[in-house]
Amino acid sequence: MSNNFGMSNNFNPDDLTPVVIAGLRTDETDEEFEHTLQELESLCEACDLEVKGTLTQTLPHPDNATWIGSGKAEELRISVCAVEAEYVVCLGNLSPSQMKNLQKIVEVPVWDRTNLILEIFSRRARTREATLQVECAYLQYMMPRLTGMWQHLGRQSGGGGSRANKGEGEKQIELDKRIISHRITELKKELTQIEKTRDVQRQGRVRDGFPHVALVGYTNAGKSSLMNKLIDMGDTSVDKAAGKKVFEENMLFATLDTSIRKISIPGRKPFLLSDTVGFIENIPHDLIKAFRSTLSEVKYADVLLIVIDSSDPHYKAHKKITEDTLRDLDALTIPKIYVYNKSDLRDSDLTIKNHPGSDSVFISARTGYGIDDLLDALQDIFRSGNRTIDVLIPYTSGDLLNRIHNEAEVLYESHEADDTHVKADCPSSLADFIEKTLGK
């Protein structure tokens, strides 16, 4: 991805880039403001930026011209010089003109929160789909901001407004806008193609008849850690091999690409589990739109595991943000289990016993506490979608009979001349698969 500030290029993980954070407080409480500032620092860390200073301002509403007001902007310039910061990162989203004006005063590039999140995403994207999605969101973000980039060429308009009379800067902006629009169209075309392939793959998985469970939740809640824990508990050594494990790390947005794994735990019905990008407060709108197809794994899941970091003092707000994002994705009505993770960090949680039938389970992906209760809750949901099948399985289709034995509850079984007569309480996905295979 081409970046106007060029940070993605020649990136060396050992180099931390010095930055100063600028925070603008309008009507937030002390506590809320402090929390969002801390989260911005964590986002900076996730982007290999070293926060050398923080400057805050309180105003009834953002200043139209410079966002934090011209006096504070001057103070910011002095801080930037003092610590030799290479960027200013703002807590909030700035309009294109606020960004341009502030940049002029502080004399280093200014990033807002959206820009920072886009930069993290561009570094994490691994698959073709994620890379294209981020590029598309980035270009959409850049479009209205092009004006600021060409101000050095000036607007030497000769008046009259005809094309021929436009200044160099303005011509360059128009040209760039055309190139970017064209690129966005190309990206969208390719993404639609990838989405089609994804649909075909999903239909293939539906045909396999395994229930599909999706991990969702705020970034850093422990979704990938839970996936790895379940892979570890699996019964095939192949699944435990490093290649099957997903990346988990104490940083925001460690996961960007969707991973799907089959989880086969002895004595439990196998299911497919997908791990997806985490959510965050005020997630940039273009980014959500860009990631809609990746997040479609969530929309088509049979069960959602909403993972919550119960040790985070703001876990209730994180839960609400997750629910709001799921509502935007039309996924809030899917059966769900609230998984309160990191119980090991909260003494009180370890005295809480999980109750069968509840939609909340306390676990620790690190110690394994409560994972069996979580699996019980999952199996209860699978069972609630069960139906009874009454079928004749030819002796030549031993694999089907095996799956019934492994994944369903056999109510009746007798061996006839050519086939086995079975009645079984089956997950509906498996029942559909068996009846389709037998041509019923």
Ligand X SMILES: Nc1nc2c(ncn2[C@@H]2O[C@H](COP(=O)(O)OP(=O)(O)OP(=O)(O)O)[C@@H](O)[C@H]2O)c(=O)[nH]1
Q: Find the shortest distance in angstroms from Cβ 215 to Mg ion.
A: 8
Q: Among the candidate windows 82-90, 172-180, 216-224, 282-290, which touches Mg ion by CB under 5 A?
A: 216-224
Using an 8 Å Cβ cutoff, are 339 and 307 in contact? yes
- Of ligand X, Mg ion, none, which one sits near residue 264, judging by CB under 5 to 8 A according to partner kind? none
x/- mask, Mg ion, residues 237-266, rule CB under 5 A, reads -----------------xx-----------
365 is in the binding site of which of ligand X, Mg ion, none (Cβ under 5 to 8 A by kind)? ligand X
CA 4, CA 253: separation in Å to the nearest integer? 22
- Between the two ends of the chain, the Cα-to-Cα distance in Å is 51
Closest CB 246 distance from Mg ion, rounded Å? 7
CB 256 within 8 A of CB 277: yes
Quick check: 146 and 173 in contact, CB under 8 A? yes
Identify which of residues 329 and 350 has a Cβ nearer to Mg ion in the complex.
Answer: 329
Please say whether the beta carbons of 287 and 277 come within 8 A: no
Which one of ligand X, Mg ion, none interacts with residue 36, CB within 5 to 8 A by kind?
Answer: none
Residue number, 140 or 224, with CB nearest to Mg ion: 224
Residues 258/197, Cβ–Cβ less than 8 Å: no
For helices 428-437 and 398-407, angle between their N-to-C axes, nearest 10 degrees: 170
The listed partner (ligand X, Mg ion, none) that binds 225, CB under 5 to 8 Å by sort, is ligand X
Closer residue to ligand X, CB minimum distance, 117 or 303: 117
The least CB distance from residue 273 to ligand X, in Å, is: 13
On whether the CB atoms of residues 300 and 212 are closer than 8 A, the answer is: yes
Q: Which does 250 bind (CB under 5 to 8 A by kind): Mg ion, ligand X, none?
A: ligand X
| C-alpha–C-alpha distance, residues 167 and 82, integer Å | 37
* Residue closer to ligand X (CB basis): 171 or 346: 346
Enumerate binding residues for ligand X (CB under 6 A): 217, 219-225, 248-250, 252-255, 278, 341-342, 344-345, 364-366
- Tokens standing for residue 54: 């923080």
- Report how far residue 141's alpha carbon sits from residue 72's, in angstroms, rounded to the nearest whole number: 26
* DSSP, residue by residue, 384-419: HTEEEEEEEEETT-HHHHHHHHHHSEEEEEEE-SSE
Binding partner selected for residue 372 from Mg ion, ligand X, none, CB under the kind-specific 5 to 8 Å limit: none
Q: Which does 73 bind (CB under 5 to 8 A by kind): Mg ion, ligand X, none?
A: none
CB of 322 to ligand X, least distance (A): 11
Smallest separation, CB 252 to ligand X (Å): 6
Relative orientation angle of helices 96-106 and 70-83, to the nearest 10 degrees: 50
Report the alpha-carbon distance of residue 98 to residue 94 in Å, rounded: 6
C-beta of 209 vs 278, nearer to ligand X: 278
Residue with Cβ nearer ligand X (28 or 232)? 232
* Closest by CA position to 96, among listed 85, 110, 106, 86: 110
Nearer to ligand X, 47 or 365 (CB): 365
What residues have CB less than 8 Å from 319, skipping those under 6 apart? 218, 306, 308, 338
Q: Choose between 46 and 434: whose C-beta lies nearer to Mg ion.
A: 46
Q: How far is the CB of 113 from ligand X (least distance, A)?
A: 16
The residue number with the shortest CB distance to ligand X is 278
The three-class DSSP label of residue 22 is strand
C-beta of 120: minimal distance to Mg ion in Å? 13
Which of Mg ion, ligand X, none does 115 bind, CB closer than 5 to 8 A by kind?
A: none
Do the bridges between strand 409-415 and strand 419-427 make them parallel or antiparallel, or are there none, so unpaired? Answer: antiparallel
224 binds Mg ion (CB under 5 A): yes
Q: How far is the CB of 229 from Mg ion (least distance, A)?
A: 13
CA 427 to chain centre: 29
CB of 365 to ligand X, least distance (A): 4
- The footprint of Mg ion (CB under 5 A) covers 223-224, 254-255
